[in-house]
Copies of this chain bind each other. A is one copy, B any other.
C-alpha cells in the first residue's frame, strides 16, 4: 500500500465479486474471501468485495450477511459494480445463460462447473476471448490440485503425449475399500454413501460421467483440440467384483477408474486424440496405483518434461474453494494490471479416435472346460482376431478351470470381437470379467 493510500488520499480500488451458489464450495469461497481479505488485497492490488451471493432460497440462517443474498442471479451478474462472477451452482441451465450474460456485460468468470465446460467451453470461451475477459476453471478438474494451469501454462512450450488421472474421489474410495476389505461393490457403495463419500444418486460418479466430463476438459487443453463429453468413451465401476480385485492383486496390479487422454497415431500416420474413462488394471509399480481413498492424482507425460504427477484432494468444499480463489486472484490481477489468462486453444483440431480403433490391453477371466486342447483353442481365438497374448494363468480342479489371459496391445475392436467369439464357443462356460490393462511399459 502506498503512503497516499495509507493516508486516504487515493481511494482504495475495489473489485466487485458475485458468487453464484452457497453450497459446500460457495460457503468456503465466501469464508476465505472474508477471512483473508487483507492478504488477497495485497496480492491483487485491489480489495475484493462480495457484492451479492445468489441462492435458491434467501433465508437469514445461511451463515453470511442476509443482505448479500439474492434469489435473482440474473440481476446479480449484470450489476455494474460486479467485475468478476464466481459460479459454483453446478448444472447446465440456467448457469450457461448466466455465464454468457456475465461475459457479455464485461465480467470475467471463474467456474468449477465440469459438466458445463465439458460441453460448452467452446461457446463460453469464444465470448470471453472476443471480449478480452477471463474464463478460468481450475476447480473443475481435480479440486485443489493444480492441473489446468500446469497444462495450459507450465507445459505450454512442451508437447503433451498422455494425461492419465484418477479424477473421481467416490469411485476411488469404493475401489480402494473393495481392495482392502474384500467386500463386494454393492456393500461398499452403501458404506461409501453412509460415510458421505457417495451421493444419494451415485450414478454420475459410479458410471463415470463425472470423470468423462473431466477427461473432455483435460483432453481439450492438453491437445489444443475441442473434445466434448460425447467424444469420451465411458464405462463405470458397477461391474467390478471383489473377485476382480483379488485377481488383480495376484497379477501385482490394482483396479482404478482412469480418465485417459492420449495423442495416438492411427494406421494412416495421422495423429488423433483418444479420450476414455473405464476401470482398468494398473500395475502396483505405477505411481497412480498408490493413490487411495478419496484422493485424486493426475499423471502428465510430455515430450521434454517426461512424467509428472500431481496429487491431492480432488473434492470437498475447502480444496475446491482454494482452486476457485486461485483463479479469482488471477482474474482480479488481470482486471487491475491488464492482460488476460490463456485463451481457449483449439488450433490442433485433432480428430477423435473411436474406442474401437484405440489400442489397449485386455485382461480376460473365463471359466473353461478342463480338457485337453482347450488352452490351444482359446489361444487360437485370440490369434484369429490378430490379438497377441502376453500371459496365461490357469487354475482349477475337477472338470472346470479358470483361465486368465492378459493380451498385448491391440485395437479395442479386435479385443472385443475376440471376447464375443470366445463367449460363443462350447468349451468356454462363461467369460467372467473383461477389464482393460493400463500403465504398463507397453504403450
Cβ of A126 to closest chain B Cβ, rounded Å? 15
Q: Taking A158-B326, A326-B158 as contacts, is the C-beta distance between A318 and B305 under 8 angstroms?
A: yes
Cβ of A145 < 8 Å from any Cβ of B? yes
A305–B290 touching, CB < 8 Å:
no
If A304-B322, A311-B287 touch, whether A36 touches B157 (CB-CB below 8 Å) is yes
A392 to chain B, nearest CB (A): 32
Q: Chain B nearest CB: distance from A333 CB in Å? A: 7
Residues of B within 8 A of A287 (CB): 311
Can you sample 11 A-B contacts with CB below 8 Å?
A32-B304, A39-B348, A144-B308, A153-B326, A153-B329, A155-B322, A155-B326, A157-B327, A305-B312, A309-B311, A310-B310
Ranked nearest first, the 6 interchain pairs of A and B with the lowest CB-CB distance are A339-B339, A157-B325, A144-B305, A146-B154, A304-B322, A156-B329
Indicate which residue in B144, B146, B158, B308 contacts A304 across the interface (CB closer than 8 Å).
Answer: B144
- A331 to B36 CA separation, bound complex (whole angstroms): 29
Query: Contact at A345–B43, with CB atoms within 8 Å?
Result: yes
Assembled-state Cα–Cα distance A12/B338 (Å): 24
Q: Which of B153, B308, B321, B338 contacts A145 (CB 8 A)?
A: B308
Residues of B within 8 A of A79 (CB): none
Interface centre among A303, A324, A337 (most CB of B within 10 A): A337
Question: Does A313 touch B at the CB level, under 8 Å?
Answer: yes
Kindly state whether residue A182 has any CB partner on chain B within 8 Å: no
Interface digits, A24-59 against B, CB 8 Å rule (1 contact, 0 not)?
A: 000010001000100110110000000000000000
Bound CA–CA A299/B325 (angstroms):
20
Say if the beta carbon of A302 comes within 8 Å of chain B.
Answer: yes
Task: Name the B residues within 8 Å of A159 (CB-CB).
Answer: 36, 39
Contact with B along A347-390 (1 / 0, CB 8 A): 11000000000000000000000000000000000000000000
Q: Is the CB of A322 within 8 A of B157?
A: yes
A302: chain B residues within 8 A (beta carbon): 144, 322
Question: Do A340 and B340 touch across chains, with their CB atoms under 8 A apart?
Answer: no
Interface residues of A (CB under 8 A from B): 28, 32, 36, 39-40, 42-43, 138, 144-146, 149-150, 153-159, 224, 287, 290, 302-313, 318-319, 321-330, 333-334, 337-340, 342, 345, 347-348
> Taking A40-B157, A325-B158 as contacts, is the C-beta distance between A310 and B313 under 8 angstroms?
no
B308 touches A157 (CB 8 A): no
Q: Report the Cα distance A170→B313, complex, angstroms.
A: 30
Of A150, A157, A328, A330, most buried by chain B (CB within 10 Å of CB) is A157
| A284 CB, nearest partner CB in chain B, Å | 12
- Docked complex Cα distance between A305 and B296 (Å): 12
Per the bound structure, the CA–CA distance linking A329 and B313 in Å amounts to 29
Q: What residue in chain B is nearest A157 (Cβ atoms)?
A: B325
Q: Are A306 and B326 in touch, CB under 8 angstroms? A: no
Number of copies: 2
CB-based contact B322/A32 at 8 Å = no
Query: Quick one: which of A304, A337, A348 has the most chain B CB within 10 A?
Result: A304
Chain B residues contacting A153 (CB-CB under 8 Å) are: 149, 326, 329-330
The smallest beta-carbon distance between A142 and chain B, in angstroms, is 10
Residues of chain B within 8 A of A312, CB atoms compared: 305-309
For A323, the closest partner residue in chain B by CB is B154
Which one of B144, B158, B309 contacts A310 once the chains associate, using CB atoms below 8 Å? B309
Residue numbers in B under 8 Å from A39 (CB-CB): 159, 224, 347-348
Contact B309 A309 (CB under 8 A): yes
Is the CB–CB distance between A305 and B334 below 8 Å? Answer: no
Are A146's CB and B340's CB within 8 A? no
> Could you tell me the distance between the alpha carbons of A327 and B338 in the complex, rounded to whole angstroms?
18
**When chains A and B are docked, how far (Å) is the Cα of A151 from the Cα of B149?**
11
Partner of A157, one of B157, B324, B342, B345: B324
In the bound assembly, the distance between CA atoms of A357 and B148 in angstroms comes to: 39
CA distance A265 to B387 in the complex (A): 63
Give every chain B residue within 8 A of A28 (Cβ-Cβ): 304
Known: A40-B157, A153-B326, A157-B325. A308 touches B311 (CB 8 A): yes
